A and B are shown apart, each in its own frame.
Chain A
Amino acid sequence: QITLKESGPTLVKPTQTLTLTCTFSGFSLTTSGVGVGWIRQPPGKALECLALIYWDDDKRYSPSLKSRLTIIKDTSKNQVVLTMTNMDPVDTATYYCAHRQVGSGSYDFWGQGTLVTVSS
């Protein structure tokens, strides 16, 4: 059974750096084809892909946010960490991590998400 859970601060101040952790079980990020992505959703708005990391440490970022994002994996802890610098109120959103379906690119398992509010 694949599960994912996001953790991190619920409130950050403008200009601060956000660090989110995705802790997962039921799969390994050392297995060929496996990937974990971060997706966010501002309140009442659409989904936006932020970053994706593959089993071989290949990393992909949203071009519009690439300068602010870093994604890393810790296979010993079954975790993926996303950092986003220089947070702004427009970054207020629910942040999800999700398992990339092996063999396709769709996301077949999602965490429940964590709401991050950016406010002074």
Chain B
Amino acid sequence: DIVMTQSPDSLAVSLGERATINCKSSQSVLYSSNNKNYLAWYQQKPGQPPKLLFYWASTRESGVPDRFSGSGSGTDFTLTISSLQAEDVAVYYCQQYYSTPYNFGQGTKLEIK
């Protein structure tokens, strides 16, 4: 199985400031034949199911604000919120879909400082 490890476990950022969440996979999720990273990011607010933010590591899902960005390749990935808004308070998860089981990271809880 590919193990996904996120850092930090929790993060407090002031409104308007940048938030950065990291995700590391235990093996590369870059598929060489198409040069795509099989990595997704989700946002989960309390009492709600996860919401897809990015797939292929950096392709923004429709409707996701452009203050969110995804980057990285191979085994190291980053989710960045350029200017934190109050509605961004949530738990964020990365997920690899390179091989089954499509494991998730343990989650990063983002709060307002």
* A57 proximity list for chain B (CB < 8 A): none
Residues of A within 8 A of B101 (CB): 49, 60-63
Give the total of B residues in contact with A, Cβ under 8 Å: 25
B56 nearest CB neighbor, chain A only:
A104
Residues A46 and B1 in contact, CB atoms below 8 Å apart: no
- List residues of chain A with CB within 8 A of the CB of B44: 47
Q: Is the CB of B97 within 8 A of A46?
A: no
CB distance from A115 to the nearest CB of B (A): 11
Decide yes or no whether B38 CB sits under 8 A from chain A: yes
A107 to B106, CA, bound (A): 17
A-B pairs, 5 with minimum CB distance: A105-B97, A106-B40, A110-B49, A60-B100, A106-B55
Which B residues lie at the A interface, using CB under 8 A? 1, 38, 40, 42, 44, 48-52, 55-56, 61, 93, 95, 97-98, 100-107
